[in-house]
Amino acid sequence: MTDFFGGDALANLSVRLGPGLLPMVVAFAVCALAVPLMILLSRRTGMMANPGGRHLHLKPTPLLGGVALYAGFAAALLIFLPRYKDTLGVLVVSGLAAVLLLADDRWHVRAAIKLGLQLVVALLAVFVFGFKIASFGLPGAQLVPLGLLAVPVTLFWLLGMQNTVNLLDGVDGLAAGVVFIVAVTLMLAAAGLRQVAYVQLAAALAGTCAGFLLFNFHPARIFMGDSGAHFLGAALGLVSIVGVAKVAVAFALVVPVLALALPIGDTAWAIVRRRREGSSVARPDVRHLHHRLQSFGLDPRQTCYVFYAASALLGALGLTLFGHGRILAVVLVTSAALASTVAADLLQKTGWRVRVPYLHALLR
């Protein structure tokens, strides 16, 4: 702990993460200011999520949170990275994801149309702006070019990120909080490699998520909708790909994959489960892991805490590949404290008793 909090460690952390501080603050402030405007606009345009069906909220809730998320992210990039070569591509592709999926928030389009919109976003990223996962590398090995596989691998990555975040958005504050943690994890990874622009990209994404959480944490006053979920998925996928430029893919992508391991696994199991039942893999249901945790007795906030702790722990595990091993110890302690708090709250709320007869006899 002395080494971790020593003067040299704190100085290095400040120098390497410093460039991301202002972009994070600007994204946070712009998103937080934009949300009240989007709440008002949602009510005037009828863009509201009504309760009922698979929706667990109890009153109509504004749905234009995705616009506020994009506004915070775009403002930070335009102010701090106007000349960065990937800024235009990231803004256009992630913005298109936000705009196109407004159609699903408004009219609830069919699954095939929704997949088509996701594919348009991914194709634009690959063929117009040249975002590609072009090579693959392992520790101690040379980079191996993916060749013809670069395009399908990149398309799969971008489609997977959009759908993972979208399926994660089932509890107030869950998707924005998890993406915030993943973005901060990417910041730390980039800081260790002195990639200033990458630090600022990840910081802008983290800041806009934090600003949105002020209004989206339970009880939510606004939802991000499919528009916001797909924006976050596309932005997260692109920011990860940008980091591949100077790092082997095995290193650059392992951090978001590990940090998102819980929702990725839940998404994969949902696909397998629906195929085994003979139903469409795109059919929504209330059997995702966050729904099951609430059925178990956790409230929305406690469900978020479980996902936050898991994402932080797995993300810290990924950071050990970048030489940030001491972060893992800090996250382990924090996650343990958070888990014990959730467990204590659950036991108190449900009235459960843990019977330890030998201890009872000793105390008596």
Q: List pLDDT tens digits, range 325-360.
A: 555 555 555 555 555 555 555 555 555 555 656 555
Q: How confident is the model at residue 288 (pLDDT cuts 50, 70, 90)?
A: low
Please determine, for residue 141, whether its predicted confidence score (pLDDT) is greater than 70. no
Buried b (16+ CB within 10 A) or exposed e, 316-349: bbbbebbebebbbeebeeebeebeeebeebeeee
Mean of the pLDDT values across residues 95-99? 97
Max Cα-Cα span within the chain = 74
Q: How confident is the model at residue 140 (pLDDT cuts 50, 70, 90)?
A: low
Tell me the sheet residues that pair with 48. Answer: 62
Q: Confirm if 207 and 26 have CB atoms less than 8 A apart.
A: yes
Quote the pLDDT of residue 69: 97
Q: What is the mean pLDDT of the chain?
A: 81
Q: How far apart are alpha carbons 78 and 80 in whole angstroms? A: 6
Q: How far apart are alpha carbons 135 and 291 in whole angstroms? A: 38
Residues composing the chain: 364
Please determine, for residue 1, whether its predicted confidence score (pLDDT) is greater than 60. no
